[in-house]
Amino acid sequence: MAKAKSAFTAKWVESVEATDKRQEIPDPGLRGFYLVIQPRPGGAKSWAVRYKGNTKITIGSIAAWKLADARKEAGRIMRAYDEGRDPRAEKKEASSDDNLTENVLDEFLKRHVKAKNKGRTAYDVENTINREIRPKWKGKMITAIRRRDVVNLLDDIVDRGVPTMAVRTYALLKKFFNWSVERGILEVSPMGGLKPPATVEARDRVLSDSEFRLAWLAAEEIGWPFGPLFKMLMVTAQRKEEVAGGSRPEFDLKGKEPVWIIPPARAKNGREHLVPVTRLVISLIASLPTIDDSELLFTTNGKTTVGGFSKAKERLDAAMLRIARKEAEERGDDPAGVTIPHWVLHDFRRTAASGMAALGVEPHVIEAVLNHKSGTIKGVAAVYNRYDYDQEKRRALTRWERHIKTIITAKPGSNVVVFDGRGRKK
């Protein structure tokens, strides 16, 4: 039987070979910690604990447990024995369905997120959990999640080109694992010392008129359901989640002054928001199909709102570039030289705000259109003005709609102008 002369190292564990007999090799660096090697031909290797005459406890295979992690687990088991606890019972409890990650996430939503946050915040957190976390870790015990699992999850989000979402998910996971430690579900958080996956810089990107026109034409090209949804973002200047989650009962289109009331539970700042509805919005809503009598505006199954914005944005980008290059070719220009700088869907909202300002709309009215919680009106005045400016908002959005119609009906220019990330000509 092989014998270690000093504390186990990963290299030594990898190199020790199986024999015709089962081997239990003690670690000179941690009394009671063993490397178990099954006989040939299998030769599987695993970690185990034999401590103070208690029955052996298997930790797991060396493939699933790195040496450092296995040592920590062995120490936990030994402490349990020293404190008079039964680590076998604790292990059985840890492997119960209650500790499946998806079930712990449900408990976190119920007891922490929804209990301590307003409707919109809780809604956003639940969406992030269901979109970014639950699908990756469903069926996995929370006690089995390692730092590497967290890093891989966050790296995947960064690689999709959405670093802001990666940073938000990182912050959410820190809260989730810290809450799990507080509740005694975990001993330690796998995120200890883990830094944010990206640096998020403040954006000031606005789309030029020519880019805006291309986005509108591309939205027409990609069609239902994201084409009309993207147009709604462009016309209303509201948030992506608020538009995507819209339902027919929120709209009053038959009155003299049509409106859309976004309820507090769906508004980001938790405050009811009145959005004056213009003719373009009415025509867009009229064009939307009704799926299985659902009240949702943007749904493909009649039950849930649409998902998959990243892929839809990629389709929109590809259609914009395709249209721009086709127009360049028709003018006799080199289509290969046409580029469109990177932008995100939230830039529609910033572009609308910038456009309304250029059209002479007052800053406080723009903030009212956007439903910003803070800005030019503060203090006591903010309380008394909370629900004012409905007519000013209607005039602002009507001006913006007229400008949009001017943009989208304009003929392609004689040259394609490339803009930088701030909407300025290069």
Q: What is the DSSP secondary structure assignment for residue 360, as one 8-state letter? A: T
Residue 379 has what pLDDT?
46
Burial of 225 (0-12, 13-18, 19+ CB in 10 A): buried
Span 367-387, average pLDDT: 60
Poorest-confidence range of 22-26, 131-135, 202-206, 340-344? 202-206
CA distance 105 to 160: 24
CA distance 280 to 236: 9
Task: Kindly give the interhelix angle for 390-409 and 346-358, rounded to the nearest 10 degrees.
Answer: 100
**Band of the pLDDT at 383, cuts 50, 70, 90?**
very low
Residue 421 has what pLDDT?
37
CA distance 303 to 248: 14
98-182 domain in CATH 1.20.120? Answer: no
Same fold, 98-182 and 209-409: no
> What φ, ψ does residue 93 adopt, rounded to 5°?
-65, -40
- Is the pLDDT confidence value at 103 over 90? yes
Are 164 and 202 a contacting pair, CB within 8 Å?
no
Ranked by mean pLDDT, which of 91-95, 117-121, 161-165, 337-341 comes out on top? 337-341
Q: What is the pLDDT of residues 51-94, one digit of tens each?
A: 999 989 999 999 989 999 999 999 989 999 999 888 887 776 65
- Kindly state the helix (H) or strand (E) to which residue 11 belongs, with its residue range: helix 10-15
Poorest-confidence range of 18-27, 302-311, 354-363? 302-311
CA distance 15 to 4: 11
Q: Which of 49, 75, 76 is nearest to 60 (CA)?
A: 49
Give residue for tokens 């034999």.
50
| Percent of residues, the chain, with pLDDT higher than 70 | 90
Query: What are the boundaries of each domain within the chain?
Result: 10-93, 98-182, 209-409
Q: What is the pLDDT of residues 259-295, one digit of tens each?
A: 999 998 888 878 889 999 999 999 999 999 999 999 9
Segments in 141-202 forming alpha helices (H): 147-159, 163-182
Q: What is the DSSP secondary structure assignment for residue 296, as one 8-state letter? A: B
Q: Is 355 or 2 the better-scoring residue by pLDDT?
A: 355
- Dihedral angle of Cα 398, 402, 404, 408, to the nearest 10 degrees: 150
Q: What is the pLDDT of residues 154-184, one digit of tens each?
A: 999 888 878 888 999 999 999 999 999 999 8
What's the whole-model pTM score?
0.59
Strand arrangement of the beta sheet that strand 45-49 belongs to: 23-26, 33-37, 45-49, 57-61
Ranked by mean pLDDT, which of 113-127, 235-249, 369-383 comes out on top? 235-249
SS3 49: strand
| Percent of residues, the chain, with pLDDT higher than 90 | 72
State the CATH class of domain 10-93.
Answer: alpha beta
Instruction: Tell how far CA 233 is from the center of its chain.
Output: 19
Poorest-confidence range of 31-45, 198-212, 295-309, 311-325? 198-212
Residue 122 has what pLDDT?
84
> How much is the mean pLDDT over the chain?
88
**Band of the pLDDT at 96, cuts 50, 70, 90?**
low
- Is the pLDDT confidence value at 382 over 50? no
**Band of the pLDDT at 2, cuts 50, 70, 90?**
confident
CATH topology of domain 209-409: hpI Integrase; Chain A (1.10.443)
